[in-house]
Amino acid sequence: MRFYFFIGILLLGMAACHKDDADVKERAGRTLIVYLGVDNNFAGEGGQKIKALTEGWRESYNGNLLVYSDGGEAVLVYIHENRSGKSLADTIGKYGAENSADPEVLKRVLLEVQDRFPADSYGMVVLSHGSGWLPQGQLTKPASIIQDHSDEMEFAEFVDAIPMMLDFIVFDACFMGTIEVAYELKEKTKYIVASPAEVLSPGFVYKSMVGHLMAPEPRLTAVAKEFYDYFNLLDGFWKSATVSVVKTDELERVAEFLAGIGDVTVSERVNLREVQQYGYASHALFWDMGDYVSHWAPEYAGQFAGILDRAILYKAATPGYYSSGNMAYNKIRTYSGMAMYIPQADYPALNEEFRKLKWTKAVSR
């Protein structure tokens, strides 16, 4: 879930789509797809994000920018410049009132974009409600990744729906910065930008994001830093941001190290109240990975920090984070850049699902 700051529907004029606009484009350097699952209380953000992306687009970018937006009536938008240098957002697909939380819809959109806008590399930005790997309906709020009214997409379904290898995924959604999410996605994307806590609206900085993500070498650290800088300059509970850039091919090393020192998913030796957590209201579900390991096996804390830092290319956190679940501002004492789930007696259903994850099997072997 993202805490919604304001509701304002911006009317965005979209030029009529000619047949030429729908033709398959020549192969480009990168195709970026922005998936806006906003058929919920984020509906007003669809137009805002499309407007910001359009303002940030430049014809000099060697690539294509596509936006799927479902704020009630789903559309596919192609952002480009006309001959006079004006940036346009052309609607090239209309799908009616479909369910953007259906994994088959996500897969169809990605396959259509791949077919019509081929490229040497692909990247994706996802905006919706999120709760990491947690199964649908476990806590009612926050929701799983991508929510369409009462429907939610399970995280496992999200992973399975991705038909191509991505250079990166930017999650503009809450609680996606966990080791379980990253490890499950390591065969689908090279890099992940995400937050282990809640993401307040308006989220990431979309206008400047375009240039960073369309660069030959995507500037993911810049995307994350601009997100952090925006919220760090605010006052009160708005000064709330946690973010990291994760290199997924380093995650196996993290798993191997932890598997070698014991089963870190068993927490009896740790007083969890002493560990930094990123929860929702009273639900203490996600714990700072570096802080937890330093309590679980203090003799390995330094060595583990070095291994984790190889996977975390950038990390930043404000002095605290806001939880919309109880409207409280929670202090951040330490931040390693990654969160993890720890089984607890209060969550037997979550514990059972946790045992099915690739991460759990990797560190418990």
pLDDT tens digit sequence for 299-330: 999 999 999 999 999 999 999 999 988 889 99
Instruction: Calculate mean pLDDT across residues 248-265.
Output: 96
What is the SS3 assignment for the chain? CCCCCCCCCCCCCCCCCCHHHHCCCCCEEEEEEEEEECCCCCCCHHHHHHHHHHHHCCCCCCEEEEEEEECCCEEEEEEEECCCCCEEEEEEEEEECCCCCCHHHHHHHHHHHHHHCCEEEEEEEEECCCCCCCCCCCCCCCCCCCEECCEECCHHHHHHHCCCCEEEEEEECCCCCEHHHHHHHCCCEEEEEECCCCCCCCCCCHHHHHHHHHCCCCCHHHHHHHHHHHHHCCCHHHCECEEEEEEHHHHHHHHHHHHHHCCCCCCCCCCHHHCCECCECCECCEEEHHHHHHHHCHHHHHHHHHHHHHHEEEEEECCEEEECCCCEEEECCCCCCCEEECCCCCCHHHHHHHCCCHHHHHHCC
Model pLDDT, residue 281: 75
Residue 125 CA to residue 193 CA, distance in Å, equals: 9
- Residue 18 confidence (pLDDT) above 90: no
Give percent of the chain with pLDDT exceeding 90: 77
Unique residue bearing structure tokens 């922005």: 34
Distance CA 183, CA 360 (A): 10
- pLDDT confidence band for 13 (50 / 70 / 90): very low
Spell out the long-range contacts of 300-303 with Cβ–Cβ below 8 A and sequence spacing 24 or more: 300/257, 300/261, 303/257
Sequence letter at residue 185: L
CA 167, CA 218: separation in Å to the nearest integer? 9
Structure tokens at 65: 């920018």
CA angle (284, 290, 294) in 5-degree steps: 100
pLDDT band (50, 70, 90) for residue 150: confident
Residue 110 has pLDDT above 60, yes or no: yes
Predicted local confidence at residue 7, as pLDDT:
35
**224/170 Cα distance (integer angstroms):** 9
Cβ atoms of 242 and 173 within 8 Å: the answer is no
Q: Which of 19-28, 91-100, 104-113 has the lowest mean pLDDT?
A: 19-28
pLDDT tens track for 339-352: 999 998 888 889 99
pLDDT band at 60 (very low <50, low <70, confident <90, very high): confident
Which pLDDT value is given to residue 222? 98
Residue 210, phi-psi category: left (phi > 0), alpha (psi -120 to 50), beta (remainder)? alpha
- Angstrom distance (rounded) from CA 255 to CA 253: 5
User: Mean pLDDT, the chain, as a whole number?
Assistant: 90
| pLDDT tens for each residue of 208-218 | 999 999 999 99
Write down the pLDDT at residue 141.
58
Report residue 23's pLDDT band, with 50, 70 and 90 as the boundaries. low
Does pLDDT of 15 surpass 80?
no
139 confidence band (pLDDT: 50, 70, 90): low
End-to-end CA distance of the chain: 33
Q: Who wins on pLDDT, 149 or 312? A: 312
Rg (CA), the chain: 20
For residue 173, give every residue at least 6 positions away whose Cβ sits within 8 Å of its Cβ, in sequence order, or none: 2, 126, 127, 128, 129, 130, 145, 146, 194, 199
Which band of pLDDT confidence, cut at 50, 70 and 90, is reported for residue 84?
confident
| pLDDT score recorded for residue 330 | 94
The residue that leads in pLDDT, 23 or 194, is 194
pLDDT of residue 171 exceeding 80, the answer is yes
Give the integer Cα–Cα distance in Å for 324 and 269: 31
Rounded Cα gap, residues 324 and 326, in angstroms: 5
